[in-house]
Every structure is written in structure tokens, then in C-alpha cells.
Amino acid sequence: MSETSPRPRPDAAEHRRLAESAASSAPWRQWGPYVAGRQWGTVREDYSAGGDAWDSFPFDHAYARAYRWGEDGLGAVCDRFGFVNLGLALWNRRDPILKERLFGLANGEGNHGEDVKEHFWALDCTPTHSWMQWLYRYPQAEYPYAQLRAENAARGRDEREYELADTGVLAENRFFDVLTTYAKVSPDDLCMTVTATNHGPDPAPLEIIPQLWLRNTWSWGRDDRRSTITPFDGAGSERGFAAVALPHQHLGTVHLAAEGSPEVMFCDNETNQLKLFGTGMNATRYTKDGINDHVVHGVRDAVNARRGGTKVGFRYVFDAVAPGETVTLRLRLSAAPPDDQTFGAEFADTLATRRAEADEFYAGVIHPGLDAADTHVARRAYAGLLWGKQLYRYDVEQWLEGDPAEPPPPAARGQADGRNLHWQHLSLADVISMPDEWEYPWFAAWDTAFHTIPLAHVDPAFAKEQLVLMCREWAMHPNGQLPAYEWDFGDVNPPVHAWAAWHVYRIDGYRDSAFLIRIFTKLLLNFSWWVNRQDAAGLNLFEGGFLGMDNIGLFNRSAPLPPGFRLEQSDATSWMAFYAQQMFKIALELSRHDSAWDDTATKFLEHFLQIARAMSSFGSRNISLWHETDGFYYDVLVEPDGRAHPMRVRSMVGLLPLLGATEVPRWMEDECPGVGERLRWLQRRRPGLVGPLLTESTAEGAGGGQRRLLSMVDPARLRRILERMFDPEEFWSPYGVRSLSKAYTEPVSFEFHGQSTSIEYEPGESRTGMFGGNSNWRGPVWFPVNVLLADKLRTYGRHFGDSFTIEIPTGSGQQKTLTQAADLIDGGLTALFRPVDGRRPADGNRIEASDDPLWAEHPTFCEFFDGDTGEGLGATHQTGWTALVAHLLNPRLPPDPRTQGWA
């Protein structure tokens, strides 16, 4: 493909469905994998005084307690409003409860924070969810809930997590692989198959119980409408299926048919108050745990003999599944009543057709030049990303008020420091791309921005919708702040939305200017919030706080400093320079077609220049964030009397000034003359301000003989930073750039306000409890910032060409251009998933590194990666930002296909 040719538009069946289904309300998007992997332990389900969400609604309550805001399940699907849910329950005749949801440790139960203790994988998915597959690995022995809790509680932070495989229950492959597949005949007609294969050496029993249930919307005193699931009159063993009907006010009548003669069990999605709390009165005789008690404990009257309720299960019993044997069951969810043809030829044809269409779709998305291993990783990345679309319902005002039918909320929730008290405008009921389905089953604003890059390859409409959603009036604060995440919407995440919006626009072919205008006008409000709230001294040096990088600092940067102290952050200032540049780029693109945007473009151009001058020359009280002796940028702590102390720790915060680089396109003078004139005025009248505008001569003809780059870092500083960044004894690893220099293998200490704090290089799991101890920015490799750094090195590379080279690795004598340096970072990230001697580095010492194909075929997409070995750490199903690997595996996208373009 030539560099100037537009990307071809595929014409696969799924692409045609997408073309018809841009809006979130489109029929093909009505049903999808929108059910959370975990609803318990979330803030929105926490109505306690203390605000400990894990203790307020623990796993042990989930099977018998109704959720207020959403649902969870195994391989489950629902409508986009979450009214009707369809999922899976399993029982091996040994577990003390039905397996209805994934189990993991609460934050305080593990030595490294919350952690899922199950094995499951999203195998495949199309963007309209016309085809979906999800695999769960179910042990045949009793699930060791107590053992996992006890052993992890006994381990310290210097020890590895105790995993399910360590208990021995998976030895000799004594498990069932339970594969759930969905294929849509039409938008409201969904075929479902469940297959379970015994991989163990002996026969084993299994009960499979598909369940249909209504989200409880009626118990809280705000909406009395309630539907009931009832038997379908036309079903019966003589017709070869059991079935139920559900008339629903919003969805119309929904039917679920189950092939064969399963036992049909009804109960209600209501809390069992007596069992859980020993007090009060149950709203129904047949509570949420009725099917569990009937199946596991043989309580016959735990389910409704009169056959009706808000939850129903279809019980399939297999007394002895032989080794290697696969059992299969089929169901169909449809608006049409079931009949003799429900499981006829159309059912099998639909599964075969949708599978083939998924293959055809991804053949047009994933480059055919990739080998089988890379193609497999890319497709799994897309599958996990699309299965990570989950319904997020949360109305903060109602949550703080409590519900009319429930006891009043504790007074502590409304106090000045109450959680999310200042976010009462936030009211979401949307399908949102989540970081993953268990550890982080909520949106995190900067995560979501990164998700949109790989999403734009498969579903650009959804990618754009996600970026706009974070800026809508029911999400963005009236003051312009974007919500961070549900634990604290008011925390501060890096401002990456403008960068993401530009790349989504670019991946989508530079064609949706309406989207660009829509997101840009909202980001104007957010940019103003940053300027007004995070630059306390008005010096263009910013104090962002948390900024997503958890424990990277010597102390908690979200916590208040003593009165009069101020932390001027290298990364906060870098993020704002980066933000201003991206806004300049978008405004310039808009001004090509409408000169009314000229003034906005010049505003962001000048704002960037002001930030760059403050960052590069002096800081508060003439103290620079740049340390000339060390050749690095640091945070600076400023005392009330003006004394300033550089935090001389080389971490990712000192690399982020590299993000402040963007090209000034050659076409600007001709197509945006107002912007060009203002820049020339600044060059004449404010030459000191335009120092960050670098110019590089080329051998091209008139009008194209210069390349111009806005850069917060001048070439001399750029070289010094990169010398450290590509030094294996500092930041450079075989798998990308570490978040903290390896030079600190021995702790470095700092005295602050009478207290001593320290930091040291930790390549793996965190050994501190800061931010819950469930992530670590003190050494590991993190995908998103590596992608950003590579993106900006490529920008520098386009500007300098072959005239600027550096040693990689530092001291090796091997000279690379900056474009080649960017490729090396991308190559390190993709190397995490490329087998070496048959094993992927990301699998580390986990069971996925086994030679057994049953494990080796399943790559995991982790939250972050060991800075030395590349082993995946943290959340182990984070096909959110780690799905960026699918973006990296594709060759570089072509530049703007128009006559004159830019990247």
C-alpha cells in the first residue's frame, strides 16, 4: 500500500452491519456482553457509613442479595439498558454454592490488592455482537475459596500471589472447559450454545444451568413497574424444548427456549434478608438464592412450584461426563414465540454463518502479513476489548439520597469529605468500555481514551461515542473536569482525550469533522478547568495530583501538602503542554475548512509556547524543573518561603516532557493564513517565546523546504533524556520503557516536613500499600505511556529524519534514528506476546506458560509488566489499554490520504 493511498473500506457482512448501526440505539447493538464480571464490591453498591465497598457488599453476599445498579454473571449478555440478563450457572456437585459469578479476593484479602482467582477468556467477538464466544475453565474438585483467602492473607507483599493453579485443583487437567457461544439471527433473535468438555482423566459430573433474570428495578421505591417470567404455553417435552415468556414494558415480549427437557426453576431477584442478616422480612418466599438452594442443598420449596418469577434457570444434569467427552446444550432468545423450527436448520446455519463472517471481518481488520501467532494475539485483544463493553449505571444524587423503600443512608455519606459528594450531576446508564471485567468494572477516564485507539480499527462509531460520553453534561463536571473513576470522580487523570480523539479521527480516515468539532468544543471546557484549577501560581507549571501513575512519587501526590507547600509536577506540566498541542492540532484541522477556528488555533499555539517556556527556562522562584547536572526533569517541592527542592528521582515523570512535540504542517500558511500570520508576528515581536519552534531544512523545492516542529524539549535536552531512556541500567528493558530507573535498586530517601520517605526500583508487584498496593509505577513497563512515547518519538523522527541518531542501547555504539527508536519501543511491547522457546514472556511463571496447549493457546492481557522479565502483573484480563497491542501489530497507518496531510 502506498503511503498516500487511502485505506480500503472493507465490505464484509459485519462491516455492512456496522455501517447501519452507528448509533448506540441501533437494533444490532441492542444485545451484547454488557453484563459486568463483578458488581459486588463496587462503590455504587456501597451504602455503608464507612465507605468500604469491599466489606459493604462482599462476594459471600452476591448469590443471595439483589444489586441496586447492575448485574454480574458468567459469559452473560443483556440488553443495553440491563433490564433482561442471560447467563450461566454451573455446579460440579462439590462446590458449596453454584458457580454464578467469578470469584476473586477483595482489596484487603490479598497481598497485592484485589485479584480475580479464576481462569476465563474472551475468545471472539464482533463489534455488533452478532458473534461472541467466552470460555470458562471450571475445576472438577471443590473450588478452594477458603484456601485462597487464607493463604493470600498469610503472604506478605514480597511474596507472589497464591493462585488457583497453586492449590492443585487443576492438576491432571481435572477441569471442564465451558464454552458459551452467541450468534444473532437478527437483532432480537439470539442463538446460544453451551459446550462443556471434560479434560480430566476420569468421568466427572456436571450440571449446567443457563439463567434468565430481570435486574431488580422495583424494590427501591422509585419504579413500581415489574415484569414476570412465566412458562410458555406451547413448550413441552413432546415438542423438544422448554420455554418461558417475559412481557416487558421496554423490550416487548422476550422468549427463551431451551432444547430438550431441562428442569425449569423459578425464583425472584430479591435479597434473602433472613439468611444474610438474620433480621427483617423477605419480600418474597423465593429469593435470589432459591435456585442455588434447590440445586446445591436439595431444598425443594426454594423455587416456585407455581412456576413464575423474576429469575429462571434451566437445569441440565450430566451424571458422568467421560474423559474427552463434550456435552452440548442449545437455547434461543427471541421476540418470536418458539416453535418446532426453533432449533432447526436455521439455528446451526446461523452459527456457521456468523463464525465465517467474523473470520471475514477480521481478515479485513488484521493485516494479512502477520504470522499466525501475531494474528491470534490481535484477534484475542479485540475479543477482550469488545467483551469489556459493560453497562454502567450510577446516579450519584440518588445514591447519596438513598432510596425511598430503604433505610436512610448514614449521615457520614453527606459530610464534606463524603465520597463523590461534589459529583451529584453524574448520572450514567451507558455501555462503556471498561479496563477489564473484574478488577476494574467501571470506567476510568484515561483508560477509556486509550481503549478507543484499537476500538477505532473495528468500531470507529463506538470509539467516538466513548470519547464524547466522558464529556457529556451528565458525566463532565459543570466546572469542566472529567470524571476520573468511581472511587473518586474528583481525582485527576492525565488529559489524553484530545490525543485519542485525533488518532480516532485519523484511523477513521480523516472524514468525520462533525465528531472533531463535537469533542473539541467540550474539551475546551476541560482545558479551562486544568488552567484554572491546577496552575495554582499562574506560572504555567501544573500540580496535577494523582495523574494515573499511582505510587510513582516519593509520597501520595493526591494527598494534601502542608499549608503553603506546593509540588510543581514535571508530568502535570508535560501533560498540559501535550494537551495544548493536541488542541492546536485539532483546531488547525478545523480551520482548514472554516477560518472561524483560526483564533482558537492561535490560542492553543501560544498557550503551548507559554508552558514550554516555563518548563524549559525557569519555574517558580526561578527554579527550573530541568536539572542541568543530571540531564533530567524532576518534580519540584516549593516551601512557603520559596525554597525549592527537586525530587531527584528519575522516573517516568521526567520522560513525559517528550510528549510535548507536534508538527506544524507545511500547508498551514496556505490553508490557514490567519494562523500563519500570527506565528510570523510572534517570531518578529516575541522571538524568545517561539524558541520551542524548531526548523529543519530539507532538499525539497519551494514551499516545502522546511519542516517545523513545536517541541517542549530542545535537541540537546532531548539527546540527554534519550541517553537515559535507552540505557538498560536505567529505563530501557527488552519489553519497553520502565516506569522508574533501574539505578535505584537500593532505596533513595528524602526528608520532608520531619518525615523520611523512600523509593526503590521494584520491577514487579508493588511492595507498598499506596493506592491499595494493586498496581506499581516503580519499575514495571506500562503499555499506555510506552505507546505515547513511541508516538512522539515518531513525531521527532519525521522532523529530524536521518540527521538525529542516538545509541540504542546506550553505550552500544549502535546508532538509530528516532523513528527506529519508536519502532523498538513498539517492538518491545509486542515482544511480550511473541513466544520465545514456545512461551510468551508475558505469561511469566503462571500456568499459562505451561507446554500444555490447553493453556498455551490463551494469552493474557495484563495491567502492567515486570520491568526485567516482562511477566504480566496486576489485573490479568486488562484487554482495555493492553489491547493497544492489536494497534501496534498492524503496520503503520498511511498518512492523511488528502493532497497534503500530516500524522
* pLDDT at 498 (0 to 100): 98
pLDDT band for position 443 (50/70/90)? Answer: very high
As a whole number, mean pLDDT of residues 527-553 equals: 74
Average pLDDT, the chain: 92
Q: Work out whether strand 427-433 and strand 736-737 pair parallel, antiparallel, or are unpaired.
A: unpaired
Place of cell 520559596: 642
Is residue 255 within 8 A of residue 232, CB to CB? The reply is: yes
Residue 608 carries which side chain, given as an amino acid letter?
F
* pLDDT at 618 (0 to 100): 47
Which residue, 833, 762, 751, is CA-closest to 550? 762
Q: Which of 184-188, 351-355, 762-766 has the lowest mean pLDDT?
A: 762-766
As a whole number, mean pLDDT of residues 139-166 equals: 95
The pLDDT > 70 percentage for the chain reads 94
Burial class (CB in 10 A: 0-12, 13-18, 19+), 233: exposed
Convert the pLDDT of each residue in 318-349 to its tens digit: 999 999 999 999 999 999 999 999 999 999 99
Is residue 14 within 8 A of residue 360, CB to CB? The reply is: yes
Distances (CA, A) of 772 to 113, 159, 650, 660, 765: 6, 16, 23, 31, 12
Is residue 745 within 8 A of residue 738, CB to CB? The reply is: no
* pLDDT at 535 (0 to 100): 65
As a whole number, mean pLDDT of residues 172-192 equals: 98
Query: Of 412 and 708, which is predicted with more confidence?
Result: 708
CA 208, 209, 214 angle in degrees (round to 5)?
155
Query: Of 815 and 696, which is predicted with more confidence?
Result: 815
Would you state the cell numbers that stand for residue 774, as one nine-digit string? 494493586
pLDDT at residue 4 is higher than 50: no
Convert the pLDDT of each residue in 232-286 to its tens digit: 998 888 999 999 999 999 999 999 999 999 999 999 999 999 999 998 799 999 9
Query: Of 583 and 552, which is predicted with more confidence?
Result: 583
As a whole number, mean pLDDT of residues 39-63 equals: 95
Distances (CA, A) of 266 to 71, 90, 281, 287: 18, 16, 20, 10
As a whole number, mean pLDDT of residues 554-565 equals: 75
pLDDT at residue 815 is higher than 60: yes
Which residue, 823, 773, 776, is CA-closest to 796? 823
Is residue 129 within 8 A of residue 458, CB to CB? The reply is: no
Separation between Cα atoms, residue 154 and residue 139, nearest integer Å: 24
Instruction: Kindly compute the dihedral angle of the four CA atoms of residues 54, 59, 65, 66, in this order, to the nearest 10 degrees.
Output: 70
DSSP state of 304: -
Residue 352 carries which side chain, given as an amino acid letter?
A
pLDDT at residue 454 is higher than 80: yes
Q: Where are the alpha helices (DSSP H) in 11-119?
A: 13-19, 53-56, 59-62
Q: Which residues contact 799 (CB under 8 A, 6 or more apart)?
A: 661, 663, 694, 696, 707, 708, 709
pLDDT at residue 628 is higher than 70: yes
Is residue 446 within 8 A of residue 494, CB to CB? The reply is: yes
Is residue 634 within 8 A of residue 571, CB to CB? The reply is: no
Q: Which residues contact 605 (CB under 8 A, 6 or more apart)?
A: 584, 675, 678, 679, 710
pLDDT at residue 812 is higher than 70: yes
* pLDDT at 621 (0 to 100): 55
pLDDT at residue 45 is higher than 50: yes
* pLDDT at 696 (0 to 100): 84
Query: Of 604 and 622, which is predicted with more confidence?
Result: 604
* pLDDT at 902 (0 to 100): 63
Looking at the DSSP bridge assignments, the partners of residue 733 are 736
Looking at the DSSP bridge assignments, the partners of residue 211 are 87, 313
Place of cell 494475539: 377
Convert the pLDDT of each residue in 403-413 to its tens digit: 999 999 898 88
3-state helix, strand, coil in the chain (%, to 5): 35, 20, 45
Which residue, 659, 642, 634, is CA-closest to 568? 634
Q: Which residues contact 43 (CB under 8 A, 6 or more apart)?
A: 53, 419, 420, 442, 486, 487
pLDDT band for position 900 (50/70/90)? Answer: very low
Place of cell 524558541: 691
Query: Of 29 and 897, which is predicted with more confidence?
Result: 29
* pLDDT at 702 (0 to 100): 42
Separation between Cα atoms, residue 465 and residue 459, nearest integer Å: 10
Would you state the cell numbers that stand for residue 852, as one nine-digit string? 500444555
DSSP state of 113: B
pLDDT at residue 77 is higher than 50: yes
- Cα 620 → chain centroid: 36
pLDDT at residue 5 is higher than 50: no
pLDDT at residue 548 is higher than 80: no
Separation between Cα atoms, residue 574 and residue 647, nearest integer Å: 16
* pLDDT at 9 (0 to 100): 57
Q: Over the range 395-428, which residues count as b (16 or more CB within 10 Å of their CB) and which as e?
A: bbeebbebbeeeeebeeebeeeeebbeebeebbb
Distances (CA, A) of 323 to 89, 194, 435, 517: 22, 18, 37, 59
pLDDT at residue 703 is higher than 70: no
pLDDT band for position 643 (50/70/90)? Answer: confident
Convert the pLDDT of each residue in 658-697 to its tens digit: 999 999 999 999 999 999 999 999 999 999 899 999 998 7
Instruction: Kindly compute the dihedral angle of the four CA atoms of residues 399, 545, 493, 732, in this order, to the nearest 10 degrees.
Output: -140
pLDDT band for position 616 (50/70/90)? Answer: low
Whether residue 563 is preceded by a cis peptide bond, meaning omega within 30 degrees of 0, is no
pLDDT at residue 93 is higher than 90: yes
Is residue 434 within 8 A of residue 441, CB to CB? The reply is: yes
Give me Rg for the CA atoms of the chain: 28
The phi-psi region of residue 462 (left if phi > 0; otherwise alpha if psi is between -120 and 50; otherwise beta) is alpha
* pLDDT at 893 (0 to 100): 63
DSSP 3-state of 263: strand
As a whole number, mean pLDDT of residues 374-396 equals: 98
Convert the pLDDT of each residue in 354-366 to its tens digit: 999 999 999 999 9
Query: Of 890 and 380, which is predicted with more confidence?
Result: 380
Which residue, 664, 699, 698, is CA-closest to 902? 664
Q: Which residues contact 532 (CB under 8 A, 6 or more apart)?
A: none
Convert the pLDDT of each residue in 716-731 to its tens digit: 999 999 999 999 999 9
Other beta carbons less than 10 A from residue 325's beta carbon: 13
- In angstroms, how far apart are the furthest CA atoms of the chain? 90
